């Protein structure tokens, strides 16, 4: 199976995130993959404000799929932009809500999050 590069991942993001499609499209056309990921993170924060946990988890699961299929650069960027943003999302939710979300996180993201927390301490 061929690994996805940042441009192919960008196309998947454009198709999946209808609400911010034009923003992601503009950023991908400018070769700004980091900006496209940041747009997705911002969108997830908006979903968090609405307390729509099922939709949030569906979007995170989709990102996990892209992470697993991505090449080294895609994985590096997602680790440094998206997985680090999970700590910010965690502060938005109550402990019970976050436990529900964490139970549905892809294993790869949980492992990365654990590694990042160990590196801090």
Q: In angstroms, rounded to a whole number, what is the distance separating the alpha carbons of residues 34 and 78?
A: 8
The band of 121, judged by pLDDT with boundaries at 50, 70 and 90, is: low
Q: In angstroms, rounded to a whole number, what is the distance separating the alpha carbons of residues 27 and 43?
A: 15
Contact (Cβ atoms closer than 8 angstroms) between residue 99 and residue 67: no
The angle that helices 6-16 and 53-69 make with each other, rounded to 10 degrees, is 160
pLDDT digits (tens, 9 = 90+) for 46-90: 988 888 889 999 999 999 999 999 999 999 999 989 888 888 888
Which stretches of 50-83 are DSSP H helices? 53-69, 72-77
């Amino acid at each position: 199976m061929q690994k996805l590069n940042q441009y192919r991942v960008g196309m998947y993001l454009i198709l999946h995130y209808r609400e911010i499609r034009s923003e992601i499209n503009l950023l991908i056309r400018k070769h700004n993959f980091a900006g496209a990921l940041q747009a997705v993170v911002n969108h997830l924060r908006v979903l968090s404000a609405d307390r729509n946990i099922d939709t949030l988890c569906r979007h995170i699961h989709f990102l996990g799929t892209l992470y697993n299929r991505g090449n080294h650069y895609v994985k590096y960027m997602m680790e440094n932009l998206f997985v680090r943003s999970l700590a910010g999302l965690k502060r938005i939710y109550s402990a019970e809500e976050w436990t529900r979300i964490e139970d549905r996180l892809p294993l790869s993201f949980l492992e990365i999050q654990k590694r990042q927390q160990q590196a801090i301490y």
